[in-house]
Amino acid sequence: MTEDLSLSATEQVAAEKIFGDRLDLARRYVQHLATSGIERGLLGPREVPRLWSRHVLNCAVIAELMDKDAEVADVGSGAGLPGLCLAIARADLKLTLIEPLERRCIWLTEVIEDLGLDNVTVMRGRAEQMVDVVNAQYVTARAVSALSNLAGLTLPLLHGQGELLAIKGRSAAEEIAKAEKTVKKLGGANTEVIVVGEEVLEEPTTVVRIKVG
């Protein structure tokens, strides 16, 4: 198990740059993902060898797109991807993890307590139930839903001002085309595909950024 969790030379460089002096916290988080995260069905066992490259670094790198001291809502947090990665990478960010499933919320709370993260709150519920409770500058999402549906779940949490940062795959441009009308209706002023982490990651992260207001 430990062998699988060690960083390659490239990953080590990226992890040091992204997490800085909080890299040990990131390591402990990866340990949680590889043990209780797998045991409780938050991730498949096949993901263990690529937890760093495919999941943690891939998510944490988007922290560079956010202003200092920002309020961030992570929709459909699941195993804390990207929410917990961002909270570890940036102690200044204030994260609200929105997750409908109770067992995932319990796991997230346990991990947050173990890591001593004081910049994270877990809220159990669906994104659409949180509109009156959460007012974020950034909303993040990964592997939640196609953009045409995701826009409706996430953009209202910005209350007319802010950005959605959705981590997406190769189909990002197609998703944007299909979601165009919905995004416009919800106040999306500018939608673009950006690539983050090219200088540190072997496989950089593709993000759909929608600015509102």
The strand order across the sheet containing 138-142 reads 120-124, 94-99, 71-75, 138-142, 162-168, 205-212, 188-196
What pLDDT score was predicted for residue 145? 84
Residue boundaries of the structural domains of the chain: 61-212
Residue 186 and residue 125: Cα distance in Å, rounded? 21
Q: Which of 118, 191, 120, 119 is nearest to 154 (CA)?
A: 191
Note the pTM of the prediction, 2 decimals: 0.94
CATH superfamily placement of domain 61-212: Vaccinia Virus protein VP39 (3.40.50.150)
* Coil vs helix vs strand at 208: strand
Q: What are phi and psi of 121, to 5 degrees?
A: -125, 140
pLDDT reported for residue 123: 97
Q: Residue-wise pLDDT tens for the chain (213 aa)?
A: 444 688 889 999 999 999 999 999 999 999 999 999 999 999 998 888 889 988 999 999 999 999 999 999 999 999 999 999 999 999 999 999 999 999 999 999 999 999 999 999 999 999 999 999 999 999 999 987 888 889 999 999 999 999 999 999 888 988 999 999 999 999 998 999 999 999 999 999 999 999 999
Structure tokens given for 204: 């950089």
Tokens standing for residue 9: 């030379």
